[in-house]
Amino acid sequence: MKGNLAMRFLETATTMGRSMVRWASGAAVVLALAASSRAEVLTTATYDTDSYVYFGLNAARATEITLGAPLPPGVDPHYNVGFVKFDVSELSLSGAKYLELEPNTATAVLPSAVAIARLYGNTDDYFAAGSAPGRTAWLAANAYGQPPLATMSISASGGKHYADITPLVNHWIASPADNYGIALWRVGGNDFDSPELFSMNDPLGRGPAINSVPEPGTVALASMAAVGLAVTCLRRRAARAARPSAA
């Protein structure tokens, strides 16, 4: 009798264990999807372009933003720099703000790294500089003069990439007159390595955006909590099943 009771308990515990593991796995997936659904595009670019510094060409209607690596001031500037601007007047100071960029894997040289820097001047002044030395000097004063906000590693697999620019966006919200946008350029690489990012003119809407992205740790912690709850429930049920019946 005792042997049969022990066998039934073992079978019951095993069945419950499998069920709870399946429940925990399902809960983790649901929680991960719920966290992902909290991601929200806060605003998209209102202006973007790339410019070949030597000639000062404005490619404001192109579907891509082509980037190169800047040379020191005074050196012939044969590279592209990107400019992006956002309207943040409807955003609040609460919550994180991530810059969202997506490369065109069909044309870009990847992997690559992109510097993201605050602009301290109007890009119209850059285009009005009138000469390569003038534009180079403008960039040195208004883009390269401070360390970049972030350097984004762009993978060869493409997809959306993010960089936290919360302090800058909040500054723009509080001081709209300082919102000149951001500058983008390639970090390192060979002379002809050009990461190409989708612009606001991309027909599929893959251009620059400011996004509220959930922290990856949120999903991980939620999944761990689900598994922990499942284990606790399993232990309690197993303990109840092990108790001798009143009969």
Average pLDDT score over the chain: 79
For 12-37, what is the mean pLDDT?
44
CB–CB of 120/181 below 8 Å?
no
For 31-48, what is the mean pLDDT?
71
DSSP for 80-148? EEEEEEE--TT--SSS--EEEE-B-TTTS--SEEEEEEE--S-HHHHHTT-SHHHHHHHHHHHTSSS--
What integer pLDDT is reported at residue 62 of this predicted model?
82
Q: Which residue has the tokens 């000097």?
A: 137
pLDDT tens string 179-198: 999 999 999 877 677 889 99
Burial classification of residue 166, based on how many CB atoms lie within 10 Å of its CB (0-12 exposed, 13-18 middle, 19 or more buried): middle
Enumerate the H helices of the chain as residue ranges.
2-37, 123-127, 132-142, 166-174, 216-242
What integer pLDDT is reported at residue 243 of this predicted model?
56
What integer pLDDT is reported at residue 236 of this predicted model?
53
Which pTM does this prediction carry? 0.72
Please state, for a pLDDT cut of 90, what percent of the chain lies above it.
Answer: 55
Amino acid (1-letter code) at residue 110: L
Q: Which of 21, 215, 212 is nearest to 98 (CA)?
A: 212
| pLDDT beyond 80 at 232 | no
For 97-102, what is the mean pLDDT?
97
User: Looking at per-residue confidence, does 243 or 148 come out higher?
Assistant: 148
User: Looking at per-residue confidence, does 225 or 240 come out higher?
Assistant: 240
Amino acid (1-letter code) at residue 199: S
| pLDDT beyond 70 at 220 | no
| pLDDT beyond 90 at 8 | no
What integer pLDDT is reported at residue 58 of this predicted model?
76
Q: What are phi and psi of 153, to 5 degrees?
A: -85, 115
Establish how many alpha carbons lie within 13 A of residue 188's alpha carbon, considering only the half-sphere containing its beta carbon. 8
| pLDDT beyond 90 at 120 | yes
Give the angle subtended at the CA of 211 by the CAs of 210 and 215, to the nearest 5°: 140
pLDDT band at 31 (very low <50, low <70, confident <90, very high): very low
**Spatial separation of the C-alpha atoms in residues 116 and 24, rounded to whole Å:** 40
| pLDDT beyond 50 at 233 | no
pLDDT tens string 40-80: 999 999 999 999 999 988 776 789 999 999 877 778 788 99
pLDDT band at 122 (very low <50, low <70, confident <90, very high): very high
CB–CB of 183/139 below 8 Å?
yes
What integer pLDDT is reported at residue 183 of this predicted model?
98
